[in-house]
C-alpha cells in the first residue's frame, strides 16, 4: 500500500488546499514526543473545534490581534496550541476576564473558549452578565453534556435520563433539574448580537460549525457586540463510545435535545464590509486631586478647636426605631470626634427588620486608638424608644449616662445605681419645632448639656458635613439648641429638688 503513495504530492503537480492552520504553534509546548499532537483523546471534539477556530482566525487574518481566554476543563491547555495571545482564567470566569481584556484592548479580538461545566455551571453568572452587557467578545461554548476532565459527572447540560457518575440512575429532573439550554437562555437577553448552535456530528455539521465560528469572529471585527457559538461536541472517552459512535451520538442524541440553529443574528443588519463605531468609552476617571471635591471633603480640615479634650473615651450606643435617625446621629457624633482630631469608629448594626423595626449603632470617640468598633459596655446610651432602653440599659457601665426619649421612665424600669439618667421627650420637642424627625438632634443637644465631652463647635462642623440640605441644617441647629436648653433646665430642676430633699 505505502509504496503507492507519493513522497511529494506537490512535485507531482498538486497544490496544498488544507493544512495545519498557521494559528497553531508549529510545535506544541509539551514534553518530548508529544510536541506534535494535542493532549486530547482520539476523536475529541475539542481538537476539531480548535482547528475550526484556528482556520477561521487564519482566514480572517486575525492571528496577531486575537487574545484567547482558555477555561478550566479539558481545554485548559488551549494556550499550548493556539499561537495567539493567551490568558487562562479561573473556573467559569473566562467571560469576565474577556471583558477586562477587551475593554483594555478594544482593537483586539477577544475569544472566550469554554466547556459546558465551565460556562453553564460555575460560570453561569459570568456568561449571563457578559452577554447582558453586550461585551464585544466572541464565546465558543463546547457542549458535550458531561464533565469530561473530572471523569464524567453530571453537567448542567446533561440530558434527562443520562447516566453519569453523579446520576448513576440517570438524570432525574425532580432531583437534578433539566438540561440548561444556553442559546435559548441568552436569547432572552436584549444585548447579544449573534447566537447559534452548531454540532460536530458529521462533515456537513462541521462545515456549518466553521461558518458560524467565522461569522462570530467577523462580527467582532465589525464591533457588532456579543456573540456565542454553542458547539455540540463528542466526548468519546467519557461517553464510553468509539470516536465514530460518539460522533453518531452527537447527531442522533444531542442534536434532538439541543436543536441546532440561529437563535439571534443582528449582525446581519450591518451592511457588508462596514464596521460599527467603537463603543463609547466610559468617562475617564477623575484626576486624583479632584477626588476630595467629589467626596465633599475638599475644604481644608480646620485646626481642632481649642477645647479638644485631652482625654476622651466615649463608648456610645444609639438605638431606636428605623427612621428616627439613629445611624445619622451616630454619624454626626463620629464626625464631631474627627473634627476634634480624635480617633473614632462608627458601626451601624441593622438587620432585615430595620425598616420600622429597631436599629442601633456603635460609636467610639477616643483619644487612644480604637481597639474595637463594638460597644458592648457603653458609657452613653441614647435610647430613642422604649425597646432600646429595655434592651441596652443593663449593658450601661456604672458612671455612664442614659438619655431616654420620654419625660419619664416606664414604671417597671429601675435605673441601676451609679447610672445618670436624663429622660427628655426629644421627639415632642422636635415636633414643636415643626419636624418630629429632628428628635435625634434634640437628644444630641441634651447629651451636650449633660456631659462636657464634646464641644458644641465640633458638633456644628459635623452637622454641616453630614447634613446636605440647607433647610435641614437650619432645623437641626435649632433642634440642637432646643435639646441643650431643655436638658439644662431639667438637670437644674433636678439638682434643686435634690437640694430641697437634703435640706
Partner 1 sequence: MSPTTETSTGGKPDKGYVTVNTEQCKGCGLCVEACVPRVLRLAPHLNRFGYHPAQYLGHGCSGCGLCFHACPEPGGLVVYKRPSMAAAA
Q: Is the CB of 28 or the CB of 472 nearer to partner 1? A: 28
What are the helix (H) ranges across 149-199?
A: 173-176, 182-186
Question: Does residue 210 bind partner 1 (CB under 8 A)?
Answer: yes
Exposure pattern of 107-118 as b/e (b: 16+ CB <10 Å)?
ebbbbbbbbbbb
Q: In whole angstroms, how close is the CB of 32 to partner 1 at the nearest point? A: 12
Question: Does residue 31 bind partner 1 (CB under 8 A)?
Answer: no
| Site map 78..117 versus partner 1, x via CB under 8 A | ---x------------------------------------
Q: Is the CB of 47 or the CB of 453 nearer to partner 1? A: 47
Q: Could you say which of 165, 166, 188, 202 contacts partner 1 (CB under 8 A)? A: 202
Helices 326-339 and 456-466: crossing angle in degrees, nearest 10, is 120
Q: With the C-alpha atoms ordered 129, 130, 131, 133, is the resulting torsion angle positive or negative? A: positive
Q: Could you say which of 50, 181, 197, 249 contacts partner 1 (CB under 8 A)? A: 50
Instruction: Give the C-alpha separation, 156 to 44, whole Å.
Output: 20
Q: Is the CB of 16 or the CB of 288 nearer to partner 1? A: 16
Contact 361, 332 (CB under 8 A): no
Instruction: Give the C-alpha separation, 378 to 400, whole Å.
Output: 7
What are residue 26's phi and psi, to 5 degrees?
A: -65, -35
Question: Does residue 44 bind partner 1 (CB under 8 A)?
Answer: yes
Total residues binding partner 1 (CB under 8 A): 49
Task: Count the Cβ atoms, other than its own, within 10 Å of residue 477.
Answer: 18
Question: Does residue 242 bind partner 1 (CB under 8 A)?
Answer: yes
Q: Could you say which of 131, 206, 332, 462 contacts partner 1 (CB under 8 A)? A: 206
* Of 29-37, 277-285, 340-348, 356-364: span binding partner 1 (CB under 8 A): 29-37
Question: Does residue 155 bind partner 1 (CB under 8 A)?
Answer: no
Q: Is the CB of 140 or the CB of 392 nearer to partner 1? A: 140
Question: Does residue 143 bind partner 1 (CB under 8 A)?
Answer: no
Joined together, the cell numbers standing for residue 476 give 437641626
Question: Does residue 38 bind partner 1 (CB under 8 A)?
Answer: yes
What is the residue whose three cell numbers read 432585615? Answer: 352
Q: Which helix (H) or strand (E) holds 457?
A: helix 456-466
* Of 13-21, 184-192, 282-290, 423-431: span binding partner 1 (CB under 8 A): 13-21
Question: Does residue 399 bind partner 1 (CB under 8 A)?
Answer: no
Q: Could you say which of 115, 117, 152, 236 contacts partner 1 (CB under 8 A)? A: 236
What are the helix (H) ranges across 105-165?
A: 116-117, 124-132
| Sheet hosting strand 343-349, strand order edge to edge | 343-349, 358-366, 313-321, 380-383, 401-404, 420-423
Residues of the shown chain interacting with partner 1 in the complex, contacts defined by CB under 8 A: 1-7, 9-10, 12-21, 24, 33, 36-38, 40-48, 50-52, 54-55, 81, 202-203, 206-207, 210, 236, 242-244, 247
Amino acid at each position: 500500500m505505502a509504496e503507492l503513495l507519493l513522497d511529494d504530492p506537490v512535485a507531482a503537480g498538486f497544490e496544498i488546499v488544507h493544512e495545519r492552520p498557521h494559528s497553531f504553534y508549529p510545535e506544541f509546548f509539551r514534553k518530548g514526543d508529544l510536541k506534535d499532537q494535542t493532549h486530547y483523546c482520539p476523536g475529541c471534539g475539542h481538537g476539531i473545534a480548535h482547528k475550526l477556530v484556528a482556520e477561521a482566525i487564519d482566514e480572517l487574518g486575525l492571528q496577531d490581534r486575537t487574545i484567547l481566554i482558555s477555561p478550566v476543563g479539558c481545554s485548559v491547555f488551549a494556550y499550548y496550541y493556539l499561537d495567539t495571545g493567551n490568558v487562562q482564567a479561573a473556573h467559569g470566569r473566562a467571560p469576565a476576564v474577556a471583558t477586562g481584556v477587551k475593554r483594555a484592548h478594544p482593537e483586539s479580538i477577544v475569544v472566550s473558549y469554554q466547556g459546558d461545566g465551565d460556562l453553564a455551571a460555575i460560570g453561569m453568572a459570568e456568561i449571563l452578565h457578559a452577554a447582558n452587557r453586550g461585551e464585544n467578545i466572541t464565546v465558543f461554548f463546547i457542549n458535550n453534556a458531561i464533565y469530561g476532565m473530572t471523569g464524567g459527572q453530571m453537567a448542567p447540560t446533561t440530558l434527562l435520563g443520562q447516566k453519569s457518575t453523579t446520576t448513576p440512575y440517570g438524570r432525574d429532573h425532580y432531583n437534578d433539574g433539566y438540561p440548561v439550554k444556553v442559546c435559548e437562555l441568552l436569547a432572552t437577553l436584549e444585548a447579544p448580537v449573534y447566537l447559534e448552535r452548531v454540532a460536530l456530528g458529521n462533515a456537513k455539521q462541521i462545515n456549518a460549525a466553521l461558518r458560524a465560528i467565522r461569522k462570530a469572529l467577523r462580527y467582532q471585527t465589525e464591533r457588532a457586540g456579543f456573540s456565542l457559538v454553542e458547539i455540540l461536541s463528542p466526548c468519546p472517552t467519557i461517553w464510553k463510545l468509539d470516536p465514530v459512535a460518539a460522533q453518531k451520538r452527537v447527531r442522533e442524541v444531542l442534536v434532538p435535545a439541543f436543536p441546532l440553529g440561529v437563535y439571534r443574528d443582528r449582525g446581519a443588519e450591518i451592511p457588508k464590509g462596514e464596521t460599527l463605531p467603537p463603543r463609547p468609552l466610559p468617562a475617564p476617571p477623575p484626576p486624583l486631586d479632584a477626588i476630595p471635591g467629589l467626596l465633599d471633603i475638599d475644604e481644608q480640615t480646620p485646626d481642632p478647636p481649642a477645647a479638644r479634650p485631652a482625654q476622651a473615651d466615649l463608648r456610645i450606643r444609639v438605638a431606636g426605631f428605623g427612621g428616627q435617625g439613629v445611624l445619622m446621629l451616630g454619624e454626626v457624633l463620629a464626625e464631631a470626634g474627627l473634627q476634634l482630631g480624635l480617633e473614632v469608629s462608627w458601626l451601624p448594626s441593622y438587620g432585615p427588620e430595620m425598616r420600622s423595626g429597631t436599629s442601633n449603632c456603635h460609636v467610639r470617640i477616643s483619644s487612644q486608638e480604637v481597639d474595637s468598633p463594638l460597644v458592648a459596655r457603653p458609657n452613653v446610651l441614647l435610647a430613642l424608644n422604649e425597646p432600646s432602653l429595655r434592651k441596652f440599659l443593663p449593658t450601661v457601665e456604672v458612671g455612664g449616662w442614659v438619655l431616654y426619649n420620654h419625660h419619664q421612665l416606664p414604671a417597671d424600669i429601675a435605673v441601676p445605681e451609679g447610672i445618670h439618667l436624663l429622660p427628655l421627650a426629644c421627639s415632642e420637642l422636635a415636633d414643636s419645632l415643626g419636624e418630629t424627625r429632628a428628635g435625634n438632634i434634640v437628644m444630641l443637644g441634651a447629651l451636650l448639656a449633660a456631659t462636657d465631652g464634646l464641644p458644641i463647635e465640633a458638633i456644628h462642623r459635623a452637622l454641616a458635613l453630614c447634613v446636605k440640605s440647607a433647610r435641614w441644617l437650619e432645623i437641626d441647629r435649632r433642634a440642637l439648641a432646643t435639646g441643650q436648653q431643655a436638658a439644662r433646665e431639667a438637670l437644674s430642676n433636678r439638682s434643686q429638688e435634690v437640694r430641697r430633699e437634703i435640706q
